[in-house]
Chains A and B, each alone.
Chain A
Amino acid sequence: MNYKPDESTLISYLYGELDAKETAKLQEYFLQHPEELSKLQQLTEVRNVLKVAEDQEVIAPPIFMDGPSQASRFWQSGYVKTILSIAASFLLLLVAARLIGPEISYSKGELRISFNQAAPIEKPVVQNDPTPSLTSHEIQGMINTSLVKNNELIATEWEISNKRIQASLQNNLASNSAKIDELMKVTSQASQDQVRTFVAGLQQDNLQLMKDYMALSTKDQQVYVENLLVDFSKYLQEQRKQDLMLFQTRMSSIEKNTDQFKLETEQILASIIANPGNTFKKVNNY
């Protein structure tokens, strides 16, 4: 039999998608080639192992989708938007121009854009007054006199204010230094007294604390040492008792052994006395 199933057939069999006729044929093939069946069973094992990988949990994020109609897409497309925005800007300009009435003129290389009303081209104004009321010298003199007056006024005012300030400063300094001196004296006296009282109080407190501590500690130590002594004596007594008991048991066991030994010796002696002929033999048997 030259039948040999291809991979496609084997996979169909593995997933139970093979028709009855093909399945029978394949099963017959497996009977003759058990190694192929075991190979397929190994693939089933692989499938079982693959099942261990679980799905990852995920939450669908909101996906915003635009409407499907072509019309809305057309209006929302970028080109249309750009063209519409340019058209709207022009329209706005036209309306504004209509309202404020612009005028654009170009003359002698100069472009002028004006709104509402045409402004006349400004020309440099040159006034030629034939009879000036004041001469330049007179004006200069007026300026000079006013400056001198002003300077004098400022100087006097400055001097007066300077004197006032100096006087007030001296007064303030004198009064402040006097106050500071007074304060310093008061504080130094007060601090010396306070330090003395504080130190004295501290010493007293410390002394009291030490006394209390010593009293307490001596009392505690006494109790502790007494307890310790009592415990130690109890321990010693107990130890002694145990030693005595041990000694007694040892003694009694020695006594017992001695008695037994005595008894055995007596028995041996008795047997020797009873059978004087066999003694030598028995001894030799040992």
Chain B
Amino acid sequence: MAGTLLDIAMMHSDALITRAREGDKNAQGKLVQLWYKRIYNFSYKFFFDHDLAMEVSQKTFISMHRNLEGLQEVTRFRSWLYTIAINNCREELRKRKANRSVSLHDLRPGESEESFAWEASSGRGENPERQLRQSELSDLLQQCLMELSDEQREVVIMKEYEGLKFREIAEALRISENTVKSRMYYGLDGLKKILERKNITKETIGYEL
């Protein structure tokens, strides 16, 4: 995850968080700009749904704005933000389960995301065929992730894609570090079986290390 200017800015945003906590609207706006992509991607990987991810992201940042004054330690901002995000994700999940309705998107998952990814990445100037292949692979892996339980999925996403430390994940989920690691282990093990069943390996996807 680290490497881009945005990531570096996120790592050194303590001063920004302090100013935002004191009510600096400019700083709050910058925090949203810095963290929106991460929270969106976390929610997207959790739901595999663009609309739900957008909804959760917006709710998370509105909640962040309202409760930032209550943040005790600036250094714990990251786990605090993910706590809000995961709570919103769980709330949306409850709503969806309560509704018991099947949307057209659920029937053909990934359809809209494909086009979205295509549009979003069109300006990169890369090979379109490669982009399409990449998008298909991402969707395939996303489908594998969706087969995990919610608890395992959230831990795997936080660790593998969001780069949180186990301590931070434990703080965000309000569980012990050992439980996080255990969920991680079973999550990866489950994914291994799913990938084997779908015959997805490093070689079949042409992944270059």
Contacts and interface: CB of A to CB of B under 8 A. Distances in A.
Nearest to B159: A15
Given A49-B141, A68-B69, A58 B192 contact: no
Contacts of A61: 54, 58
A interface, over-half SS = loop
A121 interface: no
Contact of A53 (B62, B65, B138): B138
Contact of A42 (B45, B141, B142, B192): B192
Interface string A1-28: 0000011101110010100000000000
Contact of B141 (A43, A52, A63): A52
Interface size class of B (residues with CB under 8 A): 35 or more
Contact of B41 (A7, A12, A42, A56): A56
Interface in B13-54: 23, 25, 28, 32-33, 36-37, 40-41, 44-45, 50, 53-54
B137 interface: yes
B8 interface: no
B149 interface: no
Given A43-B189, A46-B188, A7 B205 contact: no
A11 B161 contact: no
B77 interface: no
B207 to A, nearest CB: 6
Contacts of B37: 55, 57-58, 60
B188 A43 contact: yes
B76 to A, nearest CB: 19
A60 B117 contact: no
A129 interface: no
Nearest to B60: A63
A53 B161 CA distance: 9
Contacts, number: 108
B78 interface: no
B28 to A, nearest CB: 7
Given A8-B182, A17-B166, A65-B62, A58 B201 contact: no
Contact of A58 (B120, B137, B178, B182): B120
A284 interface: no
Given A60-B32, A65-B28, A45 B120 contact: no
Interface in B188-207: 188-189, 191-192, 195, 200-202, 205, 207
A52 B205 contact: yes
Interface in A31-76: 42-43, 45-58, 60-61, 63, 65, 68
Given A52-B141, A56-B117, A58-B40, A11 B181 contact: yes
B61 interface: yes
A61 B141 CA distance: 27
Contacts of B33: 60
A57 B202 contact: no
Interface in B102-136: 113, 116-117, 120-121, 134
A55 B3 CA distance: 14
Interface string B166-180: 100000000001100
A15 B186 CA distance: 15
By Cβ-Cβ distance, the 6 closest A-B pairs, closest first, are A60-B36, A57-B120, A7-B185, A8-B181, A11-B181, A53-B141
Given A60-B33, A63-B65, 15 more contacts: A6-B182, A10-B185, A11-B181, A12-B166, A15-B159, A49-B205, A51-B207, A53-B161, A54-B138, A55-B37, A58-B41, A58-B120, A63-B32, A63-B58, A63-B61
12 contacts: A6-B182, A8-B177, A11-B184, A42-B192, A46-B191, A53-B45, A53-B138, A53-B145, A56-B50, A58-B40, A63-B65, A68-B69
